[in-house]
Structure 1
Amino acid sequence: MGVSLAALLAVSAACGSGGSGGTPGTGTGGATSAATTPGNAADNTKSPVTIGFQNLEGGAISLPEIRNGFDAGVKYINEQLGGINGHPLKSINCKTDSTPESSVNCANQFVEQKAVLVAQGADFGADAALPVLKSAKLATIGAFPLTPGMDTAVGDAFFMQGSSEEGYAANLVQLKKLGGTKVAVVMVDAPASHQSYDKIIGPAAAKLGLTAKVFYVPAQSDWSVQAATVLAWGPDALSTYVAADGLAAIPAFRSAGFTGYITAGSNVEIVPQLDSSVLNKVLFSAPYYLPEFANIPAAVQPDIDAFTKYTAGLPAGGSVTQRQTGFYTVLMAAQALRDFSAKSDTLTAESVRTAMSTWKGDREPFRTNGWDCAKPTWPGTTACASGNVYATPGADKKLAPLPDQPVDISSVKP
């Protein structure tokens, strides 16, 4: 799952493709949109609706900015969106450290404290918690599945941005739209990379009529050497999954004479550090419109404004995109609970889990597309939606989304 891990560690989880626009404030099949139109504050005299939130913090990999964004979203929901139909939203925040034991510990806390839904920030040990949550009929909602168990836990987990499979496929679809015919795929040499190329990237390239070749590189590569090796094959486009080395890899390919398109994942934080000439035809992807993007669609701008307002007090220098992931995740969780509580006076873990399986709506926050948890956007996965947005820096280094976004990958689905 190299695309998701590399992207998350750089700035945030990123994947997805395809989708259509919707009208904020309306819904499909009884569900409303997850638009962020302000309303009234929650009534603190009413009983709270409790959810769990698990996230990597304090271990070797620590992503507190996701929690910071999540907490800001809870505040926004309770102050401006009326909570959960008047009831305050309460979260049980639990830190994990990538070990199965820490994730199981969180799951037990959520069950004991009677959470009705679990929201996942980032957790590489999450698969170990699935038996505990399943036994309690407690569903998980999140932005992106980082682990294979969560990616395929159909009926128990629901991820609102798509699957890693879609992310890999979208890269190729976008490069072909831009005229690519011979694509070099550059990946860190790891078992997950080999599996992803063999099962997803290679077959998708064949369906698109692209000539593709994978180049596996070691971590912390000598990029002058790697660039020469890759370019000796003669590609006209590059699809890279080396986010941690993006700051070195992209200039190396340009210095070696490559002038075609390069996909660089979600590592938008390297943009200010690179020369504009190097960034020409470099594509960055995101599961939703980012504050850094120029020309944000009118329907999305209020979402960006709310996020900016409610995270304004956070320390400077943190990952804005990780904060946006947390903010987005709790907005989707709250939207689900509002939709379900509108039909039932009492929310339980079991009733929420059952309702999640058919939940759908017209437009997610920060996006123009809707979701439908009854129809996984990639077969056999827990992806309720899709919608990868590609953008390229202009001379001013502002990221301008390409035309015809989000990318439609229907032609390469198995």
Structure 2
Amino acid sequence: MRTSKIAAGIAFAALLAVSSACGSDDSDDSSAAPSGRAALPSGTAADGSMNPVTVGFHNLEGGSISLADVRLGFEAGVKYVNEHLGGVNGHPLKAIACKTDGTPEASVNCANQFVEQKAVLAVQGADFGADAMLPVLKSAGLAELGSFPLTPGMDTAVGDAYFMQGSAEEGYAANLVQLKKLSASKVAVVMVDNPTSHETYDKVISPAAVKLGLETKVFYVPAQSDWTVQSATVLAWGPDAISTYVAADALAAVPAFRSAGFSGHITAGSNTEIIPQLDPSVLDKVLFSAPYYLPEFADIPAEVRGDIDAFAEYTSGLPKDGSVTQRQTGFYTALMAAQLLRDVGTKTDPLTAEVVHAGVKTWKGDRQPFRTNGWDCSKPSWPGTTACGTGNVYATPGADRTLAPLPDQPVDISAVLP
């Protein structure tokens, strides 16, 4: 089942999600710090007299792509952990921040720094050179933890790397499960024409559709398409739902299908940046997905509301023109790293890299930050991957363009597991 092509293709899609998924990224700070949020309950600060627990944090902040807001969110999360959550069983949480530029050499340099400075865990924000770190981390007994693997090696390094969101494969399968729940029976799958897309459809999407009893047909399109032509071709097949995997062309594709007369559900991935640019009538029945509840969602579950409020409070001082989505990813990752260290550290103090590496293999919990469901690192949530978590949240814009989560979220993909 596992191939590097599928993992690499999803890596690019995931980067788009991290870097541009939030429609409010370049607006005011209302989504990051809603005026009606509740005051945070009193918390407990870490004990500054105790030795810190050190992790190494590596993140892409050089080269042609820079995701500095992931780091800023991570740092805000560490501050929240230390000021409000008691640190790591009283110990302050400390991070060695190391910037990468997408090259293997930069990531290896970070890995060496983490080993030399005796970090007990390597934590990834987003790093396209991360696969090169694996031999260094493994030789030092350091486990890798992150939100989503952007590279094939990290995606398949079972036993050495752990990522808290659902897997790449799950994202494709969840799309079909959600459409099935909305009574779809004939789904057109629109993908950019490249080897990754062909393999993804054959290995993941088509088998999942068979298990769900869905009829699907894939339409491969050029990287830059004439969507008047493409929409006519797709609709000639007569689908009652459309799944699009054309992130760069989402703004053109969605209105083209509507202009051609299609009124059914369209899934548009994490490309919520198109919402402010389209008329609400075009957005009716357009579905967007996220790994967890976003600050701009309406009707956020009560158990998640506190996480959103904490995130808003601890990122309220950051520049308003940054990416809320990137910051939430970093904040989430910091909280999960601290939770792992607390859970493992209840039995061993002081913590060591070897203890953390052994402990994460059986680590599980009831609820992740910004989610309603838990995680289990004792077995991959999709076979052959390093995913500990599962569950995507689907939402659709209302008349005011506010995203409202659909019922029964996150999506349960157990019926389509291989």
Q: TM-score, normalised by structure 2?
A: 0.91
Aligned to 2:72: 68
1:9 aligns with 16
Match of 2:235 in 1: 231
Matches within 5 A, 1:319-398: 319-398=323-402
Letter in 2 for 1:380: G
Q: How big is the shift at 1:144?
A: 0.9
**What is the aligned partner in structure 2 of residue 48 from structure 1?**
52
Aligned residues: CA RMSD: 1.6
Alignment match, 1:260: 264
* Match 2:306 to one of 288, 302, 319: 302
Counterpart CA distance in 1 for 2:245 and 2:57 is: 29
2:254 pairs, out of 250, 256, 260, with 250
Aligned amino acid, residue 93 of structure 2: L
From 98, 105, 122, the equivalent of 2:109 is 105
Q: Aligned to 2:86, which of 82, 100, 114? A: 82
Aligned position for 2:210: 206
Per-residue deviation, 1:12: 5.4
CA distance in 1, matches of 2:11, 2:267: 14
Corresponding residue number in structure 2 for 1:123: 127
Q: Does 1:411 align with 2:400?
A: no
Post-superposition Cα deviations, 1:49-102, rounded to whole Å, max 9, x if no partner, equal 110111111211221111111111111111111111111111111111222111
SS of the residue 1:184 aligns to: strand
Deviation at 1:4, TM superposition (A): 4.8
Which residue, 156, 176, 191 being the options, matches 2:160? 156
Bigger relative contact order, structure 1 or 2, given CA contacts below 8 A and separation 6+?
Answer: 1
Decide whether the 8 Å contact of 2:166 with 2:387 is kept in 1: yes
Quote the offset at 1:38 in angstroms: 5.2
Tell me the residue number matched to 1:167: 171
Measure how far apart 1:267 and its partner are.
Answer: 1.6
Q: Structure 1 residue 321: deviation in Å? A: 1.1
| Larger CA deviation: 177-186 vs 348-357 | 177-186
Residue 191 of structure 1 deviates from its aligned partner by 2.4
Is this contact kept in 2: 1:7–1:265, CA < 8 A? no
Flag structure 2 segments of 5+ consecutive residues without an equivalent. 1-6, 22-39
Q: Is 1:178 aligned with 2:185?
A: no
Asked if 2 retains the 8 angstrom alpha-carbon contact of 1:202 and 1:212, the reply is yes
The reply on whether 1:196 has 2:203 as its aligned counterpart is no
CA distance in structure 2 between the partners assigned to 1:349 and 1:261 by the alignment:
47
User: 1:78 corresponds to which letter in structure 2?
Assistant: N
Give the percent of matched residue pairs that are identical in Structure 1 and Structure 2. 77
Q: Is contact 2:377–2:388 with CA below 8 Å preserved after alignment?
A: yes
For the residues of structure 2 that align with 1:162 and 1:201, how far apart are their CA atoms? 16
Secondary structure at the aligned position of 1:124 is classed as coil
The 3-state SS of whatever aligns with 1:53 is strand
| Pair 1:394–1:7, CA change in 2 (3 A) | farther
**Which aligned pairs between 1:23-62 and structure 2 lie closer than 5 A?**
39-62=43-66
1:172 corresponds to which letter in structure 2?
L
**In 2, are the aligned partners of 1:5 and 1:13 still within 8 Å (CA)?**
no
Tell me if structure 1 keeps the 8 A contact 2:125–2:333: yes
Give the drift of 1:10.
4.1
**How far off is 1:11 after superposition?**
3.9
The structural deviation recorded for 1:6 is 2.1
Judge conservation of contact 2:20–2:271 (CA < 8 Å) in 1. Answer: no
Q: What letter matches 2:282 in structure 1?
A: V
d(CA) in 2 for partners of 1:194, 1:65: 33
Measured after TM superposition, the shift of residue 13 of structure 1 is 9.8
Q: Give per-residue Cα distances to partners, 1:25-49, cap 9 Å, x unaligned.
A: xxxxxxxxxxx97521112222111
The reply on whether 1:96 has 2:73 as its aligned counterpart is: no
Q: Distance in 1 between matches of 2:229 and 2:116?
A: 55
Q: Which amino acid aligns with 1:227?
A: S
Question: C-alpha distance in 2, partners of 1:211/1:153?
Answer: 34
Q: Tell me if structure 2 keeps the 8 A contact 1:11–1:269.
A: no
Query: Does the 8 Å CA contact 1:42/1:81 hold for their aligned counterparts?
Result: yes
Q: CA deviation at 1:161?
A: 0.9
Give the equivalent residue in structure 1 for 2:37: none
Partner Cα separation in structure 1 for residue 379 and residue 84 of structure 2? 31
Q: Flag the 1:339–1:303 CA change in 2: closer, same or farther, 3 A.
A: same
Please state how far the C-alpha of 1:260 moved relative to its aligned partner.
0.7
Q: Deviations over 1:159-186 (max 9, x none)?
A: 1111001111000000111111111111
Aligned length: 393
Equivalent residue number for residue 4 of structure 2: none
Amino acid corresponding to residue 246 of structure 2 in structure 1: V
Equivalent-residue separation in structure 2 for 1:38 and 1:138 (angstroms): 34
**1:142 matched to 2:146:** yes
User: 1:225, CA displacement in angstroms?
Assistant: 2.2
**Separation in 1 of the partners of 2:107 and 2:177?**
36
In the alignment, the residues of structure 2 paired with residue 260 and residue 403 of structure 1 have an alpha-carbon distance, to the nearest angstrom, of 18
Aligned partners of 1:140 and 1:157 also within 8 Å: yes
Q: Offset at 1:201?
A: 0.7
Counterpart in 2 of 1:25?
none
Distance 2:84 2:309 in 1: 13
